[in-house]
Copies of this chain bind each other. A is one copy, B any other.
Amino acid sequence: MTDQNKIKSIFEDSFKNKTKVITEEIAKGILSEYNISVPRFALVKDVGSTVTEARKLGFPLVAKIVSPQILHKTDVGGVKIDLKDEESVKSAFNDMYDRLSKDYDVKGVLLEKMVPKGVEMIVGLQNDPQFGPVMMVGLGGIFTELFKDVSFRVLPLTKEDAIQMIEELQGKMLLKGYRGSDPIDMEMLTTALLNIGKLGYDISPYYESIDFNPMIVYPDSYFVADAKIILSERPKYDVVSKTEPNSTNIDLFFNAKSVALIGASPEIGKIGNSVLETLVKHDYKGKVYPVNAKGYPEIMGVPAYKSLNDIKDPIDVVVVTVDLKFVPDLLKICGDKSIHNVVIISGGGKELGGERAVIEQQVKELSSQLNIRIIGPNCIGMFNGENRLDCAFQGHERMLRPKNGNVAFLSQSGTIGIAFMEHSFPFGMSKMVSYGNRSDVDEADMIWYLSEDPQTKVIGLYVEGLGDGRKFVNTAKKVISDRNKPIIVFKNGRTTRGAKQAASHTGSLGGTYSVVKGAFSQNGIISVDSYDELTASLKALSWQPVPNGNRVAMVTNGAGPIIAAIDQFERMGLQVANLSEESMKSFKSHYPATYVIGNPCDVTGSANADDYKFAIQTFMDDPNVDIVMPWFVFQDDPLEEKIVDILAEFNKEGKKPILVGALGGPFTQKMANRLEENNVPVYQSVNTWSIAASSLAKWSALSKSQE
């Protein structure tokens, strides 16, 4: 049992007294409370007790100066190691105490049993701006500093999390009995990590970071040899976000029967003109009310209004394209008229700083006071594949709208949002939100809403920085486990330089990618490395059944691309399936001797559609195969176009996922289009073809673990 009140008061006192350092003997006391093993120690204040305590502890010893004013003890000559006898301990005490007492408030000298050599690890606690308290695990100094071989998780930890953190380390073999040394007891090590994690979670208001460095690990035990606590500037009791996702009224954004457009304009080139055209000239059937202060009687043939106040009919959603400075007053009108949904397309908020950021903050506050849900500012709003409601300012002649489908897409960036609207054209979209500056509705609210949306099967996100990262990953975890919907994310702005650009873009912090990566993996979010990989994965998950595992079988009439794919499989968590004996036998008896049978099965340039059919049928029947990946050189003449019908038939059966790969020009594109008309996904790069399989396999493992 840890005495939390005692620990709490230690920290509260140090904030009160403005001490910047928790001295080592106190830190070690706190660690002991959490059953975190530290070397035996004693705080001594005079030569007499130094000798007595040294005898009790036993040699060799380390002596360290203790002062709340000294953070870097080594720099002031405040550490002496390998003290082998009473004499050397005594002289170490005398030297340090006398010398350092002149300049610092010295509380004494810490004598500590020197720990034997073992495997050196580092464990760190940090208060991350997006996630609150997180924990890092890595191997000794060089591995962490030069090789960045570390693993992060958000606190609190489960035992599974602790195990995964160790498993993610590239150098984990050092812990598992490298070169004949005894392996570390993993039960012991995970318990230690869980104890540190518990401490990190409990005292999260008080620290900025804590380094347990080094933590020396032995087969059956370990010692935290030093714990450097960097306090936060002031206690922050809200670092662990308790915010729950809020899907109240979000549905009305998508199913609005009436939309008022503030800033609707007859002037071509104005955003209010483009959005109006999108709303009234295409497939959306709801009522649209153009509003413009200039008092036009009508715009584009639709009766117009001078002010939102002038509209007597009920309004479901207000879309704003005027300057942000007019928005606070608009929101008050909305409040009066019981309008709960506002989309602010206009930018010019916090990304410009100064008074513009103040306006955005005002908007944010009014949103919560008046119970008005806001999408934006600085966005292109939402799209609903079913009722075709859409407020993008990109005209239809320049931008496709996707058909109705089962993929929902959330994008911080409008650019990526509209690109995906076009790229999802073949498989279709249920709903899209470009949420921009995210004054109110954020990615967590949206995935929570989408988890209950019957139109949506798969959720994709493009993220630059997460606002409340903890709220997002907690919500995602529930969506994945309780509602069984996959969430695939491409997180942009990963490097310092990239993150800097992300910050100037939307005024939000990019965060450190290794933290984000750990948080995603911990919560079952599938993370990909590019927009192309995101699109590829969403297409596969939209159209294909969940496979039983990660074992891939391939057939091809041109081997080059297959070799490149296999090069990537291990990294992507895929396996080349070991075909059953039966499959091999049937290949051998069926195919000519010039075909290279096995997996991959190279049916050579002579292959016709039936050769492919036979291979695919064999893979479908083989219990060792989970995912079927045919590659086609469609340019080769013997391959008849009826291959489209054959694949469509397999696809309709839906027994195992099929992912088609092909490289080429217009004819290949034509074949790809015909296959995709039959919901068979086609990939024109080896990387996206492979990553699609990888995402299917990852989702298979995740949805199985929920069963």
Contacts and interface: CB of A to CB of B under 8 A. Distances in A.
Interface of A: 141-142, 146-147, 149, 170-171, 173-174, 178-179, 269, 271, 274, 347-348, 351-352, 393-395, 397-400, 411-416, 418-419, 422-423, 425, 462, 464, 492-495, 497-498, 501-502, 504-505, 530-532, 557-564, 566-567, 569-570, 576, 593-594, 596, 600, 602, 604-605, 633-638, 663-668, 685-687
A28 to B, nearest CB: 24
A179 B144 CA distance: 13
Given A146-B173, A399-B635, A531-B564, 18 more contacts: A347-B604, A352-B594, A393-B636, A394-B636, A398-B667, A414-B605, A416-B663, A418-B664, A422-B664, A492-B563, A492-B567, A495-B566, A495-B567, A498-B563, A501-B563, A505-B563, A505-B596, A531-B663
Nearest to A413: B560
Contacts of A635: 394, 398-399, 418, 422
28 contacts: A142-B171, A147-B170, A147-B171, A347-B605, A351-B596, A394-B635, A398-B636, A399-B665, A400-B666, A415-B561, A415-B663, A423-B665, A492-B563, A493-B567, A497-B566, A498-B566, A498-B567, A501-B562, A501-B563, A501-B566, A501-B600, A504-B596, A504-B602, A505-B563, A505-B596, A530-B564, A531-B564, A532-B685
A663 B413 CA distance: 13
B494 A567 contact: yes
Contacts of A269: 637-638
Contacts of A566: 495, 497-498, 501
A425 B493 contact: no
Contact of A602 (B173, B505, B594): B505
Contacts of A170: 146-147
B505 A416 contact: no
B531 A594 contact: no
Nearest to A664: B422
A640 to B, nearest CB: 10
A686 B605 contact: no
Given A170-B147, A495-B567, A558 B415 contact: yes
Contacts of A596: 351, 504-505
A83 to B, nearest CB: 21
A505 B559 contact: yes
Nearest to A149: B147
